[in-house]
Every structure is written in structure tokens, then in C-alpha cells.
């Protein structure tokens, strides 16, 4: 028995020494270059890049020899993606790419990013894998394979003005009840009623404002009306005529009632946020929870410039969308992905794995006020100290996954054009629907009209 | 050896033409027959992209083609008529005043494109910060959503006005070359300023005028940067000409195959319009 134990120990020791020597040999070769691209938009999420740098420093301190080149882009997603396409076909491609979940299917279909299943489902990563919130892995998966590590959740929401509602005679408890998804009062019809009241009383210029240009907002309201985007059986995109018709009619009604400006889609961003932060609109429905931070960092307010957290706390609140089948909080995941041409996938994964630690992701959430992706983040003191993030977590209870499909970008553009047509009075609801169907048939292969 | 030397001198230029004209042109033709997407790899699809255009399967193609003609006509009229009138007016003045007004009118051309676009965006901004709306508010009128109400008129004006300085400069030079004795003879015969302009000046500058018409036709057909910046082509394709639609399809939707097919249609359309203009204007340089 002693002999067996001795042989085992010698074998174990020898393999340990050999493997250490091997690692040292690898390190002697010099630093391994890892290039990463991350994107804002805007300066707030710069930590998406800084976290990678921190992770790299930690790995180097652990004995690795990485030479990191991290680029943070403040471009819009369109030019960022075009740059990536060009870089992918040249020798300047990054090893790591920070991206939103909606593009993952397109990149996956084109073979531009790597499936990460062998890493994230490995035994050593099991506890990490389980630590992610429900739905997070599904958000970055395509055709059963996982293509990214979710680092933050863009939580789309409605901002409402408490100060305006108080002027309408509502007490703080009335307001809380009106926006509590469990109260039974939180309905779209009630929001419209409140907007009309506030507008008629001259308390706001507009009842509702939304974002400009093609973006997430246009999906949010389709989701609010129970719309579906992708057929679960065939994987093809769906034109959900029932939901789209309701969505178009809703926006047309808002414009006709004078609650939404007909030229909303062409407003300047600065003016859009000024109206929200200065209370010139009752409901800002085109944003996400991160704007709570943005309003404290950028001087959007005419009256106050940058506003304080106390001001926001006193005058504004966040809520999910009052969907027809219950509250809806559309959540879009941002992830680190690995580019398929990388020569160092193992090291690149080590880096994104380290950069996705609960501590670093908590730092990201606290800075950007976007939602967390891991359960353990919520247990960290720094995270728990943020009162606002607790509210974000409350509306994340109603999280509904953002759609994903390789043709989603085309769908988004045509939906935006149709909605602008409706709001500017250039299209009726029927014409907009007809346009969506015809354009989808032309642009999206295999689209299902339902 | 003597025969080879000239070719040696033009070789660099030939190489540049090959690299930056022949290769992209051939590539565009090739890509138009594929379904190339974001990865820049494509499968051969034959003439599918063209049938998609000509069968009007794409519901906005008709609208886009009509926009192209409206935009081209409007911008061309402003550029040519505006430039011609200014050239005639400034050459009628004394040299000092003529030069002064020409410099003033040249400023739009000297303005960087982004600044020019932002000036127009600012002027027609729908909020109360827009220049026109500020003026309207000052005189007690309600502001308007200019970019939503008149998108095509605005992009025609922005592009048309930008063409005026160049047209004015070329035509001023041409007008200055008209022999003075011809103009004096007309004056002695009692010809009015208008008649002199129509029957003497314009016929004598017909060649540069025709050149400018053809030059700007090509320019307006293919350029879209100001439209992209000012209206983005909207609302609902109201100010989207074919060049912008091609760009959006190729680089916004990353449908590079379909975008290339649209680009070839744009080139074909340009050739047809240019040939029609050549015939119509009788462009033949007198020797």
C-alpha cells in the first residue's frame, strides 16, 4: 500500500513539476498580445474596457504574460460594427469584442464569433455558470450555443415625474400605488389618462416622449402589446400583425391626442433628455435605467445643469412597461464575445472570465446603473448600498428577453420607418402594416406573417 | 526604347486607376451577384438582386426613384439658375464690388460639410432652439416641425445653394471672356439688360453652362452626405434618393450584394441622364 501511495505521489509531483516547467517555457516566449474592442455608446460604460484592463493586470500578477490592447469606442453601433467587419477580414481583428445580444445571431451565423460552451460549461466554471441570473445565458445563445459572457443588462423602462403627479393632487402613496405593478392600477389606459390630465392642466408640454432614430424603444412597445418576433419552431422572423397594429394605433392615438410630438423621432438627444429631466414631459418612455446616472453626469437640465441623485429621487421614478399581459421590462444583455479568428482563445477566455467577476461587474453596474447579470453581484455591499439599483432589481422582476435574430437589424429599421410614417401622419395604421408586410417579405428571408 | 519610355511615365497613373477604379468597379459587379453580408463573404445568387429591384418587390424602390428625380431637378435648377444669375449680376458690377459679392457667395463652399449640415439642422430644428422657430416665436407665431413638414424642400435647398458658388465662379470667368465690343454693340442697338443676357451672354457661355449642368447632375445623383446628416432620408423615405438608399442598404442593413446592385442601377441611371442631357444641350465643343 505504501509503495502504491509513494508511486502515486512521485507521479503527481513529477506531473506538477513538468506542467510548471511547461508554463514557464510558454512565458519565456514573451508576452501574448490580446486585442479587445468595447463600445459605449457614450462615456459612461467606459468600464467595459477598464474591467478588461484590470482583469489583465490581475492575470499578469498571477504569472501570465499578457500584453493588452483595449479600445473603447464611443461610436454608434452601426459604424462600430462596420469597423469590425472590415477588421475581421484584415489582420487587425480584435480577439475580444464587446457587443449587444441582438447582433450575436448574425455574427454566429457568419462564423465571426466563437461558441463558448466548452469554457462556460466546463467543470471549473460550473459555479460561475450557475451564478448568472435566469435568462442571461439564453440572451447570448444562438441555435443552442453560447456566444458570450453577459456583463450587464440594459434595462428598458418608463421614467415618470413625481413632481407633476403631485401637482395633479396625488400623494406619494397614490403615486407609488399607480406605478406598482401589483396594485392593479398600473395600466396603459391609466398612464394615458394621467398624461391627458397633466397636459390639460398645463403642467407638461407633452405626455410622452420617446427616443429618436431606430433603436430598442420600438421593440419595447411591440413587446408591451404581446408581440412576438421569432418563431420558436422554424427560427424565422415573425411579423406579428396583431401586436403591430395595436402598437401603431397606440402611437397614432398619442399624436392625435396631442400627447406625443409628431416629429418626436427627429428631436435632438439633448432636447429629449432636457424634457425628461426638467419635467416638461410626464413619461419618458424611450430610455433605460442607466439614464439615472447620465442625468447626474451630463448637464441636460436647463434649470440645474447636472442634477443630483436627491433631485432625481424626489422628482422622478422608474417603472416597467404596462403590458397587456402584465408588466414588461425589456432587457437587453451586453456581453464579451471571442472573435473566431483569435489565435489565443484560451487566454482570451481567461481574460473575459476574470473581467466578469462579481466584483468587476458590480463596479460596472454601480457606475452605469444598468442591471446586474450575476446573482452574487447583488450580495456585494457596494451594490446593496445603491438605493437606485434596488429599484432596478424590482423592475427586473418583470424582465422579458429582448428579441434576437440575424435579421433583427433590418426589422428594426423597417419598424422605425413605419412608426415615423404613423407619427408624422404620412401613413395610416393600415398603410403602415401593409408596408411592414411588404418590406419584410422583400428584406427578410423566410419571414412569417402572422 | 523610346517607345517604351512614355508608358513608363504613365504606369503609376495606370496602376492607381487600376487599383482605385477598375478593381472597385469589377468588385461591385461581382458583389451585386452575391448575397454578401456582414462577414464580407457571399454566395452567388445570379441576377436575384436585380430582379428584386425591377420586380418592385422592394416596396420603397418606386418612391426612392421618384425622390431621386425630384431632388435632382430641384437642386439642379437652384444651382444652375442661382449661379447664372449671380454670375451675370456680379460681372455687371465694378470689379471691386463684383469680387466682394463673389467672395461672400463663395463662403458656403468654403464651409466644412459637417458645419454646413449642422447650420441647416439648427435652422430647421423642430424645437424652440431652431433658428426659424426662434424667429417665429419672437414675432408671435407658432414654431413648426420643418424637417418633418418639408424634408425634400430643405435638402434641395441645402444642396442646391451649395452648388451656386462653383457655378457662379465658372460662369463669371466665362462671362468675363465675352468680348466687350459685342456687349457694347448690343447696348448701342438699345438691347435691354435682360435681352443682352438671354440672347448674347447665355449663348456665348453655353459650353461651360452645359458642362456645369452635366457635372452637377452627376454630383447630385451620387452624393447624399448632406441629406444623411440633415434629414436622414426621412420621415418615411420622404427625402431618400437612390444614392442614400443604396448606402443604407449596403452599410446600415449590411446587404452588400443588394446595395451593389442598387449602385449599378444608379450608375446606369446616371449614364442615361447624362446621354440625354448631352443630346438635349447639344454639347459639342467648337473647334
A96-123 pLDDT, tens digit per residue, is 999 999 999 999 999 999 999 999 999 8
Strands A32-39 and A448-449: unpaired
Domain containing B145 equals 47-281
Find the mean pLDDT for residues B158-167: 94
Say whether the ipTM exceeds 0.85.
Answer: no
Q: Which residues contact B277 (CB under 8 A, 6 or more apart)?
A: B210, B213, B214, B217, B283
Whether B65 maps to a domain, the answer reads yes
Find the mean pLDDT for residues B178-183: 90
User: Which residues of B, range 132-151, sit inside 8 Å of A by Cβ?
Assistant: 145, 147-148
pLDDT, tens digit, for every residue of A284-328? 999 999 999 999 999 999 989 999 999 999 999 999 999 988 999
- Position A17 scores a pLDDT of 43
Whether B9 maps to a domain, the answer reads no
Does A183 touch chain B if contact means CB atoms closer than 8 Å?
A: no
CA pair distance A374, A357, nearest whole angstrom: 9
Residue of A424, A428, A434 for testing the chain B interface, max B β-carbons within 10 Å:
A424
- Position A25 scores a pLDDT of 43
Whether B217 maps to a domain, the answer reads yes
- Give the CA count within 13 Å in the CB-facing half-sphere of B166: 17
Does A421 touch chain B if contact means CB atoms closer than 8 Å?
A: yes
- Position A12 scores a pLDDT of 47
Give the range among A22-26, A268-272, B77-81 with minimum mean pLDDT.
Answer: A22-26
- Position A69 scores a pLDDT of 93
Does A374 touch chain B if contact means CB atoms closer than 8 Å?
A: no
- Position A27 scores a pLDDT of 47
Q: What is the mean pLDDT of chain B?
A: 91
Whether B35 maps to a domain, the answer reads no
- When pLDDT is cut at 50, 70 and 90, the band that residue A21 belongs to is very low
Find the mean pLDDT for residues A1-11: 48
Does A92 touch chain B if contact means CB atoms closer than 8 Å?
A: no
Find the mean pLDDT for residues B153-182: 93
- Position A183 scores a pLDDT of 83
Neighbours of B159 (CB within 10 A): 27
| Domains along the sequence of chain A with CATH | 2-154+332-401 (3.40.190.10), 155-330+405-449 (3.40.190.10)
Q: What is the CATH number of the domain that holds B81?
A: 1.10.3720.10
Whether B24 maps to a domain, the answer reads no
CB contact under 8 Å between A421 and B129, yes or no, is: no
Q: What percent of chain A has pLDDT over 70?
A: 93
Whether B195 maps to a domain, the answer reads yes
- When pLDDT is cut at 50, 70 and 90, the band that residue A243 belongs to is very high
> What stretch of H or E contains A223?
helix A217-224
Whether B255 maps to a domain, the answer reads yes
pLDDT at B24 over 60: yes
Find the mean pLDDT for residues A190-198: 96
CA pair distance A179, B250, nearest whole angstrom: 43
Find the mean pLDDT for residues B190-214: 91
- Position A1 scores a pLDDT of 45
Strands A399-401 and A206-209: unpaired
pLDDT at A387 over 50: yes
- Position B1 scores a pLDDT of 73
- Position B256 scores a pLDDT of 93
Q: Report yes or no: A205 and A281 within 8 Å, Cβ to Cβ.
A: yes
Taking contacts as CB-CB distances below 8 angstroms, the residues of chain A near B227 are none
pLDDT at A16 over 50: no
CA pair distance B238, B30, nearest whole angstrom: 31
pLDDT at A26 over 50: no
Does B199 touch chain A if contact means CB atoms closer than 8 Å?
A: no
Encode A279-316 in three state secondary structure. CCEEEEEEEECCHHHHHHHCCCECCCECCCHHHHHHHE
Find the mean pLDDT for residues B47-65: 90
Residue of B120, B137, B236, B248 for testing the chain A interface, max A β-carbons within 10 Å:
B236
- Position B287 scores a pLDDT of 52
CB contact under 8 Å between B59 and A438, yes or no, is: yes
Whether B34 maps to a domain, the answer reads no
CB contact under 8 Å between B145 and A263, yes or no, is: yes
CA pair distance A236, A24, nearest whole angstrom: 50
Find the mean pLDDT for residues A123-150: 93
pLDDT at A395 over 60: yes
pLDDT at A442 over 70: yes
Structurally, chain B folds into a number of domains equal to 1
- Position B77 scores a pLDDT of 97
pLDDT at A23 over 50: no
pLDDT at A13 over 50: no
Q: What percent of chain A has pLDDT over 90?
A: 80
- When pLDDT is cut at 50, 70 and 90, the band that residue B284 belongs to is low
pLDDT at A20 over 60: no
Strands A66-73 and A32-39: parallel
pLDDT at A37 over 90: yes
pLDDT at B18 over 50: yes
Tell me what percent of chain B is helix, strand and coil, each rounded to the nearest 5.
75, 0, 25
pLDDT, tens digit, for every residue of A325-348? 899 999 999 999 999 999 999 999
Find the mean pLDDT for residues B121-146: 89
CB contact under 8 Å between A263 and B238, yes or no, is: no
- Position A44 scores a pLDDT of 72
Handedness of CA A301, A304, A308, A312 (dihedral sign): negative
Return left, alpha or beta for A424; rule: phi > 0 is left, psi -120 to 50 is alpha, else beta: alpha
Nearest to residue A422, comparing CAs of A220, A245, A216? A245
Does A81 touch chain B if contact means CB atoms closer than 8 Å?
A: yes
Q: Report yes or no: A347 and A52 within 8 Å, Cβ to Cβ.
A: no
Amino acid at each position: 500500500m505504501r509503495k502504491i501511495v509513494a508511486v502515486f505521489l512521485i507521479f503527481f509531483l513529477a506531473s506538477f513539476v513538468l506542467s510548471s516547467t511547461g508554463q514557464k517555457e510558454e512565458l519565456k516566449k514573451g508576452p501574448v498580445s490580446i486585442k479587445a474592442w468595447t463600445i459605449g455608446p457614450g462615456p459612461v460604460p467606459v468600464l467595459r474596457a477598464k474591467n478588461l484592463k484590470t482583469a489583465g493586470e490581475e492575470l499578469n500578477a498571477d504569472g501570465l504574460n499578457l500584453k493588452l490592447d483595449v479600445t473603447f469606442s464611443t461610436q454608434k453601433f452601426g459604424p462600430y460594427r462596420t469597423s469590425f467587419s472590415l477588421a475581421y477580414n484584415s489582420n487587425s481583428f480584435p480577439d475580444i469584442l464587446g457587443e449587444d445580444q441582438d447582433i450575436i445571431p448574425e455574427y454566429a451565423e457568419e462564423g465571426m464569433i466563437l461558441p463558448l460552451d466548452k469554457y462556460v460549461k466546463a467543470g471549473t466554471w460550473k459555479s460561475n455558470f450557475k451564478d448568472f441570473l435566469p435568462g442571461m445565458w439564453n440572451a447570448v445563445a444562438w441555435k443552442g450555443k453560447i456566444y458570450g459572457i453577459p456583463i450587464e443588462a440594459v434595462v428598458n423602462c418608463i421614467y415618470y415625474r413625481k413632481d407633476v403627479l403631485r401637482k395633479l393632487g396625488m400623494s406619494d402613496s397614490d403615486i407609488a400605488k399607480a406605478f406598482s405593478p401589483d396594485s392593479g392600477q398600473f395600466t396603459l389606459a391609466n398612464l394615458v389618462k394621467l398624461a391627458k390630465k397633466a397636459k390639460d392642466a398645463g403642467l407638461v408640454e407633452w405626455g410622452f416622449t420617446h427616443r429618436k432614430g431606430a433603436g430598442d424603444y420600438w421593440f419595447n412597445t411591440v413587446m408591451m402589446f404581446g408581440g412576438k418576433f421569432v418563431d420558436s419552431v422554424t427560427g424565422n422572423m415573425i411579423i406579428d400583425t396583431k401586436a403591430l397594429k395595436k402598437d401603431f394605433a397606440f402611437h397614432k392615438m398619442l399624436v392625435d391626442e396631442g400627447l406625443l410630438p409628431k416629429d418626436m423621432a427627429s428631436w435632438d438627444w439633448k432636447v429629449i433628455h432636457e424634457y425628461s429631466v426638467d419635467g416638461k414631459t410626464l413619461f419618458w418612455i424611450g430610455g433605460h435605467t442607466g439614464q439615472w446616472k447620465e442625468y447626474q453626469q451630463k448637464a441636460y437640465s436647463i434649470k440645474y445643469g447636472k442634477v443630483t441623485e436627491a433631485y432625481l429621487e424626489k422628482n422622478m421614478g422608474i417603472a416597467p412597461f404596462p403590458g397587456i399581459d402584465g408588466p414588461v421590462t425589456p432587457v437587453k444583455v451586453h456581453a464579451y464575445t471571442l472573435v473566431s479568428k483569435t489565435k489565443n482563445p484560451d487566454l482570451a477566455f481567461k481574460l473575459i472570465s476574470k473581467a466578469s467577476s462579481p466584483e468587476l461587474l458590480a463596479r460596472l453596474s454601480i457606475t452605469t446603473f444598468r442591471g446586474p447579470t450575476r446573482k452574487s453581484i447583488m450580495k456585494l455591499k457596494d451594490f446593496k448600498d445603491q438605493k437606485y439599483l434596488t429599484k432596478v432589481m424590482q423592475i427586473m422582476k418583470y424582465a422579458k428577453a429582448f428579441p434576437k435574430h440575424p435579421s433583427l437589424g433590418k426589422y428594426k429599421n423597417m419598424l422605425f420607418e413605419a412608426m415615423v410614417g404613423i407619427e408624422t401622419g404620412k401613413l395610416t395604421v393600415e398603410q403602415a402594416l401593409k408596408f411592414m408586410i411588404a418590406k419584410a417579405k422583400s428584406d427578410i428571408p423566410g419571414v412569417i406573417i402572422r | 526604347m523610346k517607345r517604351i519610355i512614355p508608358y513608363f511615365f504613365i504606369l503609376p497613373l495606370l496602376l492607381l486607376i487600376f487599383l482605385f477604379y477598375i478593381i472597385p468597379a469589377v468588385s461591385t459587379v461581382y458583389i451585386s451577384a452575391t448575397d454578401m453580408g456582414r462577414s464580407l463573404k457571399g454566395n452567388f445568387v445570379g441576377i436575384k438582386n436585380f430582379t428584386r429591384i425591377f420586380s418592385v418587390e422592394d416596396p420603397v424602390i418606386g418612391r426612392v426613384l421618384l425622390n431621386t428625380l425630384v431632388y435632382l431637378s430641384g437642386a439642379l435648377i437652384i444651382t444652375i439658375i442661382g449661379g447664372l444669375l449671380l454670375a451675370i449680376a456680379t460681372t455687371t458690377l465694378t470689379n471691386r464690388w463684383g469680387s466682394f459679392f463673389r467672395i461672400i457667395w463663395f463662403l458656403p463652399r468654403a464651409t466644412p460639410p459637417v458645419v454646413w449640415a449642422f447650420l441647416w439642422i439648427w435652422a430647421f430644428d423642430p424645437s424652440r432652439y431652431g433658428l426659424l422657430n426662434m424667429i417665429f416665436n419672437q414675432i408671435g407665431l407658432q414654431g413648426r416641425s420643418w424637417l418633418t413638414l418639408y424634408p425634400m424642400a430643405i435638402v434641395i435647398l441645402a444642396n442646391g445653394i451649395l452648388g451656386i458658388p462653383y457655378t457662379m465662379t465658372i460662369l463669371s470667368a466665362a462671362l468675363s471672356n465675352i468680348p466687350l465690343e459685342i456687349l457694347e454693340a448690343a447696348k448701342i442697338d438699345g438691347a435691354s439688360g435682360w435681352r443682352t443676357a438671354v440672347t448674347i451672354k447665355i449663348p456665348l457661355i453655353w459650353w461651360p453652362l452645359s458642362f456645369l449642368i452635366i457635372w452637377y447632375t452627376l454630383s447630385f445623383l451620387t452624393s447624399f452626405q448632406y441629406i444623411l446628416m440633415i434629414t436622414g432620408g426621412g420621415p418615411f423615405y420622404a427625402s431618400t434618393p437612390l444614392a442614400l438608399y443604396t448606402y443604407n442598404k449596403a452599410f446600415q442593413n449590411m446587404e452588400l450584394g443588394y446595395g451593389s446592385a442598387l449602385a449599378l442601377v444608379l450608375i446606369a441611371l446616371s449614364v442615361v441622364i447624362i446621354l440625354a442631357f448631352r443630346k438635349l444641350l447639344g454639347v459639342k465643343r467648337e473647334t
